[in-house]
Amino acid sequence: MDVGDNNDAGSQNRNECVMNCPSSGMNTKVSGMSLNSMSMYKSSSGADHFFGSGWDPVVSLSHGENFGVSSMVSHCQFATSPYAVVMENQGISSTSNLAQYSSDPSFVELVPKIPGFGSGNFSEMVSSFGLPETAHITSSGCSPNFTPSKESGNKRNSANVAQSFEDHQISEEAAIGTSTNGKARKRTPESSSPSNPEKNGDKEHQNDPSGESLGIVKEQDEKKPKMEQSIGANSRGKQAAKQAKDSSNSAEAPKEYIHVRAKRGQATNSHSLAERVRREKISERMRLLQELVPGCNKITGKAVMLDEIINYVQSLQQQVEFLSMKLATVNPELNIDIERILSKDFLHSRSGGAAIFGFSSGMNSSQPYSHGIVQGTVPSIPTANPQFPPLHQSMLDPELQSLFQMGLESGSAVDSLGSHGPSKSEL
Amino acid sequence: MNPKTCHHLSSNPSSVKSKFTRRHYLYGKVKIAADKSLALAVGSRRAWTRALLWKIHYKARRQRSRFNTKKRLKEKKKKNKKKSDEEVGFFHANELRKLVPGGQAMDLCSLLDETAHYIKCLTTQVQVMKSIDQIYSL
């Protein structure tokens, strides 16, 4: 597998980098890098923890050390590979990864901004692949590194976006990057200019403990409120114009809590500030959802959007049910094989072979709704039949097989027993 | 078969499902297997996967201990009453809470987050199952 080879190459590269790049290489790059790590963490956690297993090590890598663009490349492939192994559809995983990337424009800023670094935490990454705790530890450790040059980091990011995309070797990400590059460029000037409102915050400090100091989320929201404030400002029309005039590009104070500044012309009550943050979070999530649900780009308004989301989730669930019905009727042998796999440890003594054969022949000849299987035969069906040939095991790809077995063996053996009926002496 | 099932699904999925489950034991098994494999593949990092796994486990446990059907209905009614009291946020969100596993106990913000992740995983599951179906229909 190409991805596997790249993984090995990437891991070797990273191991070498560990030797070459000691952890003492903390310089001004760290500010941008830590910014990236936080945004990356935000993108991984906010957008998709499903891929988080691949991205958590990225956060751990970024904690003290430097990345390499090459390591980023290999890491992205690394990230996709376990997902592919899990779901056995690399096309889907790559497209979903693309969806993740495109849904998070801030990610564009940080993808290129990973200069040649090594990683002291690589062994940690390898060992604790996918553990959220590493992400927690690293992101909490990132806070002392976070220097006040966030804004300069942003500007540097936007400058580097253009450069490093040429250098970037991932075709997919480069394609997305160039497509969302315009978006990122547009947003960075927005974020840098109005992100520093005038009303200085005694209020902001009051707002910090008022419910927003969520442990890990601190780091990931440090960039978020800035972006959200900028977006919120732009969406508020008149106020945005005022802010563009009045706000100066002062440096952001280092944030450990979520500092929310009251914008000009808005209430500075701590309650309303918290409300605003909450509303902006919700709107941010709604935007992500809008990108996920197909055909919802034109819809504005939470109510309509929610309806669309509900319809989409319902349709997806119905699709799953329909497909499972189809699989259950069309391929009874598969299911019985699964049962055999599941119950081989438990039901050696059961004698269900005759029932299984009768059931399968009945299933093959009938249609779903006119089927007249009596419930009485049901309990004895899923018992293990060691004589039953492993029909489709060879047909299944190994990953699909592992998918079934992983899902079914670990614990659903209990389910199969549970749904069997009276004869369960083992339990 | 396809148009028939599609029609039924669109009109009243729950009744179709219950009829089908009674007659086809394996449908329920496949559905459970699919849900469980999806939830396990993602892992316990997400609230909805934990809720889904817990639901499957709980149902299995209930079936095993063979409750009365009357008792089950009573419990369901109680649960429904409780849920209606805990409305938080948009009134639209209640529908969503019913759909997303574990959505009852979440605030709106994390509900939206979980919904996004759930949508992604559902689409993937649909694609996987379609490909499995294709393999077996050959």
Which residue does chain B place closest to A372, by CA atoms?
B23
| For range A365-372, the mean pLDDT | 40
Percent of chain B, pLDDT > 70? Answer: 62
Instruction: Measure CB to CB from residue B128 to each of A46, A89, A424 and give the nearest one.
Output: A89
pLDDT above 80 (res B100): yes
Which residue does chain B place closest to A283, by CA atoms?
B109
Contact (CB<8Å) B133/A89: no
Residue, of A214 and B119, whose pLDDT is higher: B119
Taking CB atoms and an 8 Å cutoff, what residues of chain B touch A212? none
Which residue does chain A place closest to B39, by CA atoms?
A407
pLDDT at A308: 86
Q: Could you give the ipTM of this predicted complex?
A: 0.73
pLDDT at B22: 57
Query: Closest Cα of chain A to B105: distance in Å?
Result: 17
Instruction: Measure CB to CB from residue B34 to each of A310, A313, A320 and give the nearest one.
Output: A320
pLDDT at A146: 42
Q: Is A319 touching B (CB cutoff 8 A)?
A: yes
pLDDT at A334: 55
Contact (CB<8Å) B25/A375: yes
Taking CB atoms and an 8 Å cutoff, what residues of chain B touch A338? 33
pLDDT confidence tier of residue B12, bands split at 50, 70 and 90: low
Please, what's the b/e burial string for A165-179 (b: 16 or more CB within 10 A of its CB; e: otherwise)? beebebeebbebbee
Please name the residues between 404 and 423 in chain A that touch chain B, using a CB distance below 8 Å: 404, 406-408, 410-412, 414-419
Residue of B29, B67, B90, B121 to mutate, testing the A interface (most A Cβ within 10 Å of its Cβ): B29
Taking CB atoms and an 8 Å cutoff, what residues of chain A touch B133? 323, 326-327, 330
Taking CB atoms and an 8 Å cutoff, what residues of chain B touch A56? none
pLDDT above 50 (res B107): yes
Q: Is A25 touching B (CB cutoff 8 A)?
A: no
Taking CB atoms and an 8 Å cutoff, what residues of chain B touch A92? 123-124, 127-128
Taking CB atoms and an 8 Å cutoff, what residues of chain A touch B19? 369
Taking CB atoms and an 8 Å cutoff, what residues of chain A touch B12? none
Taking CB atoms and an 8 Å cutoff, what residues of chain A touch B108? 282
**Span A263-292, pLDDT tens digits:** 777 777 888 888 889 888 888 888 888 888
The SS3 assignment for B100 reads coil
pLDDT at B91: 64
Residue of B18, B20, B30 to mutate, testing the A interface (most A Cβ within 10 Å of its Cβ): B30
Size of interface A-B (CB pairs under 8 A): 224
Which residue does chain A place closest to B43, by CA atoms?
A50
pLDDT above 50 (res B62): yes
**Span A70-85, pLDDT tens digits:** 444 444 444 444 444 4
**Span A85-129, pLDDT tens digits:** 444 444 444 444 444 444 444 444 444 444 444 444 444 444 444
Taking CB atoms and an 8 Å cutoff, what residues of chain B touch A85? none
pLDDT at B79: 52
Contact (CB<8Å) A322/B6: yes
| For range A293-308, the mean pLDDT | 83
Which residue does chain A place closest to B134, by CA atoms?
A327
Average per-residue pLDDT in chain A?
51
> Tokens 């969503």 — which residue?
B96
Contact (CB<8Å) A320/B133: no
| For range A157-166, the mean pLDDT | 45
Residue, of B19 and B35, whose pLDDT is higher: B35
Smallest CA-to-CA distance from B28 within B71, B63, B3 is with B63
pLDDT above 50 (res B70): yes
| For range B32-37, the mean pLDDT | 76
pLDDT above 80 (res A195): no
pLDDT at A315: 92
pLDDT above 80 (res A364): no
| For range A218-237, the mean pLDDT | 45
Percent of chain A, pLDDT > 70? Answer: 16
pLDDT at B24: 63
pLDDT at B29: 75
Contact (CB<8Å) A406/B127: no
Query: Closest Cα of chain A to B13: distance in Å?
Result: 8
Residue of A320, A366, A377 to mutate, testing the B interface (most B Cβ within 10 Å of its Cβ): A320
